[in-house]
Amino acid sequence: RKQMKSGGNRSKKVKVWVRVRPSQNFADDAIKLDPEGRSLQISVPRPGGDQQPQQRGFANNQRSDWSFRTDGIFSNSSQQEVYETVGADLIESGLAGYNGTIMCYGQTGAGKTFTITGATEMFHNRGLVPRALSHLYKEIEAKSDLAITVRITYLEIYNDTMLDLLATMPDSQEAGSPLVITEENGGVYVKGLNVHLAQSEEEALNLLFEGETNRATAAHALNKNSSRSHTIFTVYLETRSRFQSNSKYTTSKINFVDLAGSERLQKTLSTGKTQQEASYINKSLSFLEQTVIALTEKNRDHVPYRQSKLTHYLKDSIGGGCKTILIANIWGDVRQLDETVSTMRFAQRMSCVASEPVENQRTDPSIMVKVLEAEIAALKKELAMHNTLRFELRQQVQRYIDGDLDDIDLTSIRQIQAVFELNCWPPSRPGRVAATPPEGAARSLGPSTSGAQLGGEAVGDLDGRSFGIAARSEVGMDESGVFLQSKRREAAAATAASSKKQRQHPLGAGGGSSSGAAAGADSEGTLDAVGSSDPAAAAAARPGTPPSRTQAFEEFKKELGSEIYRILNENRTTMMDKKKEYSNLASQVNTTKTEIDRSRLRLDALKVEREAQGNLYTDEGELIINEEEFVEIKKLRQLKESYKADFDRLKELKTQIHYCQKMVDLTRQKLIQ
Ligand SMILES: Nc1ncnc2c1ncn2[C@@H]1O[C@H](COP(=O)(O)OP(=O)(O)OP(=O)(O)O)[C@@H](O)[C@H]1O
């Protein structure tokens, strides 16, 4: 038995979770799951057994038993469970300034796309990305003291070429020069990739759906809707304090990586374009594996990131300073055992990659300059005030010396100190000294307190404490502190509006200004899909021998149509249910609102009545109200609570309906295609 353990201290390693696709033909004899013990045992029949090699399909005949340790196993887990366990933390950490990556790896048809987006599936089956967006905007709403900016990119790597899945958005720049991976300040980004500001959950979901519509998919024997490319949905966050005087802010990027599935051509029966795509997919996955191996090798100074677009783009997203989670999607079918072992071997390698997330805290130089300017202005003002005070005192002292003034009006230690600092002291008028220095004060004056000694005599303050420069500056600091705060408040009011369309580095660090990439995916990819699970039909679908319209439609109805119709109908039903709930709740909210208004009027009337009779108070001075008023206040409070809860639910429903509508549109579009 080969025991594959995850590397040492798991807290500083990439986290690896396994998700098992439900299968009617689950290999119970061969795969033993132990979700509690977080381990998975695979036992593959030894060579020479009853089964044919292709049935066993297992390439490595040295080993027949495998044991894998993981960070957790999802078996029969709902999408929500998966999100709560591995997705939610990435959003929370992202808001705190930590980069995160969640990546699905596995053979074709194992459920990677189902896990990441869950697109074209039913509402309750929506995947990590839509759930993460929903969570993100709820957090943003709750953190009212922070200004959080969300920007989104959606990249596709198809046949080792990068494409912008959002190039078709109305505010995208026209496709120009090809996309280029650029490294800056230790971070990686793609020059020319459109970066979209998403100010609400709806805007963010629109971007997701737009990208989903554009990505390349095709059918083969193992998956009717197989992704033919790697896609990376990236959310860039910038979190700033709403007080503009705070020049510190954090940035982060969260990647949702849906890798294309590895496939054995014998099994997928891919031909032509789909076969060529498969060869690119397998090659890039093998580069990914090489990169991961290099990352786990001690004393290795070169990691071959640049071998492929995928590894280069993910350079700062696999372990290192990034919180990385790998979901190994496995298909527990008897016929997929070899792929399951190979997925688990990759997962085990990933679990040895070091990952020590670091906070991306930055300082905004422009705010820093503003703060310093405000401080300089405050200090200048204080200096001016100080000079005026000295001038006025000098005049008073002069008038006192001249005998025009009986007393010098001294109200603070500072003024007394200033008087002693004036060169016209001591006065020539005997017996008229307003402040006589106490004995021993000279001891408390340091050598730097120039001006605190006059005529060789030491001076001090009246209450016996020394008043050197330190004492004075303490007072000054307090005053300037107060002044600065009001200045900061003024500065905070002047927040600059940010432009909606961003064509720079998503983290705001300049660059990335070249034009966008060629749009979208090849529509042939989806046309190929028609009827290809049947080899004859697949051959008919090859370029040059198109099936007749009727034949194609019949095939389509049989193979995909009915399935898509079913999904379409389910999506429609979910949407209608939600709309119904929305409309019922909306009328309930209106009724509650009317009741609140009524209750308020009633309370006003009761108050007027009470005041007319004369208010009564308890011994502690609390107002006494009668039971009727008390009950009405309680009722109003309950009404308000219920109004708030219903209103929040309404908002949630609105977003969900929007999501369902998008899914209906997508499914309908699929049907037309
Ligand atoms: N956990 C699951 N629960 C229910 N259905 C699932 C699950 N995982 C996968 N499926 C279903 O299996 C099918 C294939 O899944 P999916 O397209 O996500 O695979 P994939 O790994 O992305 O494949 P490819 O690499 O070919 O794109 C889909 O119909 C999906 O709904």
List, for residues 505-532, the tens digit of each pLDDT value: 555 443 333 333 333 333 333 333 333 4
Distance CA 644, CA 604 (A): 22
Looking at the fold, whether 339 and 381 belong to one and the same domain comes out as: no
Supply the residue whose CA is at minimum distance from atom 9 of ligand 1: 111
Share above pLDDT 70 across residues of the chain, in percent, rounded to a whole number: 69
What's the N-to-C CA distance of the chain in angstroms?
49
Mutate which of 85, 113, 264 for ligand 1? The one with the most ligand atoms within 8 Å of its CB, which is: 113
Q: Is 107 annotated as a binding residue?
A: yes
Quote the CA–CA distance of 207 and 210 in Å, as a whole number. 5
pLDDT over threshold 60, residue 553? yes
- Which residues touch 307 (CB under 8 Å, ≥6 apart)? 287, 290, 291
Residues near 80 by Cβ (< 8 Å), separated by ≥ 6?
Answer: 131
Q: Tell whether 61 is covered by a domain.
A: no
In our burial notation (b when 16+ CB lie closer than 10 A, e otherwise), range 452-477 reads bbbeeebbbbeeeebbbeebbeeebe
In a domain, 64, yes or no: no
- pLDDT score recorded for residue 51: 47
Model confidence at 305, in pLDDT bands (50, 70, 90)? very high
Query: For residue 496, what is the DSSP state?
Result: P
Q: Is 110 one of the annotated binding-site residues?
A: yes
- What are the pLDDT digits (tens) for 449-458? 333 333 333 3
Task: Please check whether residues 281 and 340 belong to one and the same domain.
Answer: yes
Identify the domain boundary among 456, 481, 510: 510
- Atom of ligand 1 at shortest distance to CA of 329? 21
Last residue of a domain, one of 465, 493, 521: 493
Residues 6+ apart with CB under 8 A from 42: 30, 31, 32, 65, 66, 67, 68, 337, 340, 341, 344
Q: Ligand 1: which atom is nearest the Cα of residue 121?
A: 31
Q: Which atom of ligand 1 is nearest to the CA of 74?
A: 1
Supply the mean pLDDT for the chain.
77
Region 335-354: mean pLDDT is 91
Q: Ligand 1 site: residues with CB under 6 angstroms?
A: 21-22, 106, 108-114, 121, 223, 225-227, 260-261, 329
pLDDT digits (tens, 9 = 90+) for 64-100: 788 999 999 999 899 999 999 999 999 999 999 999 9
> Does residue 557 fall inside a structural domain?
no
120 labeled binding residue: no
User: Same domain, yes or no, for 617 and 633?
Assistant: yes
- The pLDDT value recorded for residue 206 is 93
In terms of average pLDDT, the best of 31-45, 496-510, 640-654 is 640-654
442 assigned to a ligand binding site: no
In terms of pLDDT, which residue wins out, 533 or 337?
337
Residue 251 lies in a domain: yes
**Ligand 1 pocket mutation pick from 82, 212, 220, 223 by most atoms within 8 angstroms of CB:** 223
Q: Residue 438's pLDDT is what?
A: 40
CB 193 within 8 A of CB 516: yes
The answer to whether the annotation marks 8 as part of a ligand binding site is no
Q: Are 502 and 427 in the same domain? A: no
Omega cis (within 30) before 426? yes
Per residue in 150-185, pLDDT (tens digit) is 999 999 998 888 999 999 888 887 767 789 999 987
Does the annotation list 112 as a binding residue? yes
Cβ-proximal residues to 663 (8 Å cutoff; 6+ apart), any chain: 119, 120, 121, 122, 123, 571, 575
CB 104 within 8 A of CB 257: yes
What is the three-class DSSP state of 67?
strand
Is 581 domain-assigned? yes
Q: 434, 462, 493: which is the final residue of a domain? A: 493
Residue range 293-309: mean pLDDT, rounded? 88
- One-letter amino acid identity for 405? L
Could you tell me if 506 and 580 lie in one domain? no
| Average pLDDT value for residue range 209-226 | 76
**Together in a domain, 141 and 241:** yes
DSSP tag of 87 = I
Judged by DSSP in three states, 492 sits in helix
Atom 11 in ligand 1: which residue has the minimum CA distance?
111
Are 369 and 481 in a shared domain? yes
Mean pLDDT to the nearest integer, 293-302? 86
State how far the Cα of 191 lies from the Cα of 70, in Å rounded to an integer. Answer: 37
pLDDT at 638 over 60: yes
Do residues 672 and 526 lie in contact, with contact meaning Cβ atoms separated by under 8 Å?
no
Ligand 1 atom with the shortest distance to the CA of 225: 17
> Which pLDDT does position 166 carry in this prediction?
93
Distance separating alpha carbons of residues 197 and 150, to the nearest angstrom: 6
Q: Do 210 and 248 belong together in one domain? A: yes
Map residue 227 onto helix, strand or coil.
Answer: strand
pLDDT, position 119: 62
Query: Is 508 labeled as ligand-binding?
Result: no
Three-state helix/strand/coil letters over 306-359: HHCHHHHHCCCCCCECCEEEEEEEEECEHHHHHHHHHHHHHHHHHCCCEECCCE
Q: Are residues 241 and 109 in the same domain?
A: yes
The gap from C-alpha 262 to its chain's centroid, in whole angstroms, comes to: 29
Give the residue whose CA is nearest to atom 8 of ligand 1. 111
Q: Does a structural domain hold residue 375?
A: yes
Which of 227, 197, 199 is CA-nearest to residue 214? 227
Q: Are residues 347 and 370 in the same domain?
A: no
Check: CB of residue 121 under 8 Å from CB of residue 224: no
Per-residue confidence (pLDDT) for residue 120, from 0 to 100: 56
Count of other CB atoms within 10 angstroms of residue 566: 12
Question: Is residue 516 situated within a structural domain?
Answer: no
The Å distance, Cα 16 to ligand 1 centre, comes to: 19
Which atom of ligand 1 is found nearest the CA of 258?
Answer: 22
Ligand 1 atom with the shortest distance to the CA of 77: 1
| Domain residue limits at 660 | 572-672
The CATH number for 125's domain is 3.40.850.10
Maximum average pLDDT range among 380-389, 438-447, 487-496, 656-665: 656-665
**Number of folded domains in the chain?**
3
Cα of 223 vs centre of ligand 1, distance in Å, is 8
Q: Are 94 and 87 a contacting pair, CB within 8 Å?
A: no
- In this prediction, residue 463 carries a pLDDT of 37
Predicted pLDDT at 600: 94
Same domain, 404 and 354: no
For a ligand 1 pocket test, name from 20, 21, 121, 222 the mutation site with the most ligand atoms within 8 angstroms of its C-beta.
21
